[in-house]
Amino acid sequence: MSTKQQSPKRPAGKSESNRSLIYWIGGGILGLALIVWMAAAIANEGGGADAIAFGEVTVEGADLPFFDASATDPAIGITAPTVTGVDWNGNEYTIGPDGRPKIVVMVAHWCPHCQREVPILEQWYEDGGLPDGVDIYGVTVLTNQLRDGSTYPPSKWLEGDGWTIPTLMDDEGGSIATAFGLTSTPTYLVLDGDNNNLGRIAGEIGTDGYDALASIAAASLSG
């Protein structure tokens, strides 16, 4: 028989609950620190990036009716307004009755369909898909840093995809989007040399679609 006096053992349950309590207290302190940290971050509201995302725009003429992609374009044959704007490098462009038919593509930086379409369109453009005598312009519309900060400003996104198409930046009020009757992105608009609307199409259209638009624009040269 053992003569050693055994010291009373601490009940296992009590040390377990002490450990549990320590975890809860630790977690609570951590949670509180996180809340304070985030509150400080929220209070420290900074201004937006100084990125150039919008440009000055002038629109002359009546806006095209809004485009319902599910129906025939009601604006075919209607003269589109003359739009003047700038790109992020300050280059000025005018979409107007200059005797040259043109394709106008309106894209939004946060739109996944535009993000998929842009590299394909750029490749088509570089491969010489645009017929002689036809111009192409891009327009960055509906720019909104909140919707996708990673592609903001649009110039960052487009340049990242190797974009070389001359592009106007819409203003904060969406003047160009309104002028051309935008209802979704991407939207393509074909204009003849007198700035008459030959048709609009929305959505991802791929190279077959670009070829079709280019054909329509080129046909107006001989028409």
Which residues of this protein are in contact with other proteins, per CB under 8 A? Answer: 34, 38, 41-42, 44-49, 69, 108, 110-114, 116, 142, 145-150, 177, 182-187, 202-204
- Name the residue among 86, 59, 165, 58 with its Cα closest to residue 121: 165
**Shorter beta-carbon distance to other proteins: residue 46 or 223:** 46
What six digits make up the tokens of 37?
Answer: 């940290």
**Shorter beta-carbon distance to other proteins: residue 56 or 147:** 147
**Shorter beta-carbon distance to other proteins: residue 152 or 163:** 152
Per the CB < 8 A criterion, the answer to whether 203 and 186 are in contact is yes
C-alpha count within 13 angstroms, C-beta hemisphere, residue 87:
16
What six digits make up the tokens of 133?
Answer: 């005598």
Query: Tokens 């110039």, residue?
Result: 155
**Shorter beta-carbon distance to other proteins: residue 41 or 91:** 41
**Least CB distance to other proteins at residue 17 (A):** 12
**Least CB distance to other proteins at residue 184 (A):** 4
**Least CB distance to other proteins at residue 206 (A):** 10
Dist CA 86 CA 190 (whole Å): 20
What six digits make up the tokens of 208?
Answer: 């077959």
Per the CB < 8 A criterion, the answer to whether 103 and 185 are in contact is no
**Least CB distance to other proteins at residue 118 (A):** 13
**Least CB distance to other proteins at residue 5 (A):** 24
**Shorter beta-carbon distance to other proteins: residue 87 or 170:** 170
Residue 107 φ then ψ, to 5°: -130, 150
- Name the residue among 112, 189, 173, 119 with its Cα closest to residue 141: 173
